[in-house]
Amino acid sequence: MWPRMNPALTPITSRGGRDLPTGYSLLTNSLLNKGTGFRDAERDGLGVRGLVPPRIFPIEQQSKRAMGNLRRKGKDIDKYIFLSGLQNRNETLYYRLLLDYLEELMPIVYTPTVGQACLEYGAIFRRPRGLWISIKDRGRIAGILRNWPRQDVRLIVVTDGERILGLGDLGALGMGIPIGKLSLYTACAGLHPYYCLPITLDVGTGNKDLLEDDLYIGLDQPRVRGGEYEAFIEEFVQAVQETYPRCLLQWEDFGNHNAFQLLGKYRERICSFNDDIQGTASVALAGLIAASRKTGTELRDQKLLFLGAGEAATGIGELFVAALKEEGIPEDEARARCWFVDSKGLVVASRTDLQDHKKPFAHEGKPVNTLLEAIEAVRPTALIGASGVGGAFNQEIVEAMTALNPEPVVFALSNPTSKSECTAQQAYAWSRGKAIFASGSPFQPVEYDGRTLVPGQGNNVYIFPGVGLGVLSCSGSLVTDAMFLAAARTLASMVTDEELASGRVFPSFQGIREVSLQIALAVARIAYADGLARAPEPADLEADIRSRMFEPVYQDYV
């Protein structure tokens, strides 16, 4: 656990009573720098007078100025670079800005702009915000972890860059993903940035273009696989446990095979989870629960057809099955309500080419090759895209779903925007305004037939920050599927009737901190009930968790 209220000063001064840095050193410490926000007494007492302009600005005015500067940037990637520079200079102001303008800045800090940022990461890299650990560092990973200047890390988001969003293998350029995820942990759930560490594991790349690029910043070698890769990961996990024993490890954007293998290997050994499998499942399940509220049906009445059968899609299916089992539905009946279409057609029992994670959903049925044929054969109530194939839900597909359902559920969850299976405008137009639509990337409200329809964004940011906050608040030893199921139910319960009427199946981002708090509360309660909490349970759990959430306000140093 960490100090209540987590002022920026606390983690610095609590480490052996070390003094606060002064002068220019203070201004280069992004966690402590206030820029023009230093008061007169601080300017004198900390030796920064003359190093910053003379006029003193409160953080509210600094935020307003920063937003004005950002809005003058023409391209989203330039806005991303501006925000990265601000984060490197003054993290308190950076998070104040995010909270003040969250809906506007979320697409810049994370999807879809983070995809472009990863593609260009070698060119826009300015200052280290995390650690790169390469396969050539085997035997000294623990020492590299100790190079990080903050020695009480509680949360690591790690990627090996093989499956960055829907963009594929970006190798070392994938660093933008863990940096972005951890920014959202702080903005949306109040995890103090002091305790957060982004890591990219560089084992080479299978991207031919990167290997032929003389300016590529990662290892210029083919991606390592097999036993050597597994030994590297094992050393990394052991080094994390040795160096940061109270740390939660989040696996992010690994390729399908490694994602399932690593989750299966480590989920019972260490405090960890895979956001692409479990976080995506939780937010999608929340959307399905909310959609069922809107249609006046039960979750058990849904029949799901997935386009894509990778980690995201099958993760959703598994959590959907868990939810139905919790409601008393036998597992075989629950699985029979989930069907998948992969690159070779409908996943059925007669196929001999199925990977292990697909086999539990391979039902008896006639093999069909196309999505349209699958819709006609399965007759689903909900169509869920997790394929990374932009435009896969064409007019014929949406019209077929509409012919089967008064209010068809159409979730186009692939990221970034270019990979979305369809747009909100298309879903509403082709369904004649009947679709219950959600997407992975943000879309603007749509005017249709005199109504304003507001699409939901099935963004994992609704889930993983709250789950992480809940686990860390009670010093959880493991992260379980029951926690993600509770997170989904909690999120769905926070969608108002007014939001459902407008077309939304997720609440507004403006209330994301309260969403994260309530999810954290549900997760911590499960940890205490299941004997997974290593900290004593406080008398008022909600007040205790709230008191530990970082608020981006300046603390008085003098």
Distant-in-sequence, close-in-space partners of 387: CB < 8 Å, separation ≥ 6: 307, 308, 313, 414, 421
Paired tokens of 49: 């007078």
- The residues with which 410 forms a beta bridge, in sequence order, are 383, 437
* Catalytic status, residue 110: yes
Asked if 381 and 370 count as a contact pair (C-beta separation under 8 A), the reply is no
**Helix, strand, or coil (residue 191):** coil
Please pick, among 34, 181, 294, 358, the residue that the annotation labels catalytic: 181
Q: What angle do CA 87, 93, 99 make, to 5 degrees?
A: 100
Helices 512-529, 481-493: axis angle to 10 degrees equals 140
Q: Within 46-194, where are the H helices?
A: 59-71, 76-89, 91-100, 102-109, 113-119, 121-124, 141-145, 176-189
Residue whose C-alpha is closest to residue 221's, from 211, 212, 209:
211
Residue 417, Ramachandran bin (φ over 0: left; ψ between -120 and 50: alpha; else beta): alpha
CA distance 484 to 79: 33
Contacts of 194 (CB under 8 A, 6+ apart): 6, 8, 11, 12, 31, 150, 152
CB 483 within 8 A of CB 523: yes
Active site residue 94: no
Computed on alpha carbons and rounded to an integer, the radius of gyration of the chain in Å comes to 24
Place of tokens 């083919």: 222
Q: Which residues 6+ apart lie within 8 Å of 301 measured at CB?
A: 292, 381
Of the residues 80, 94, 95, 110, only one is catalytic, namely 110
Nearest to 477 by CA among 263, 245, 270, 196: 270
Side-by-side strand order, sheet with 456-457: 345-346, 338-342, 304-307, 382-385, 409-412, 436-439, 456-457
Catalytic residue numbers read 110, 181
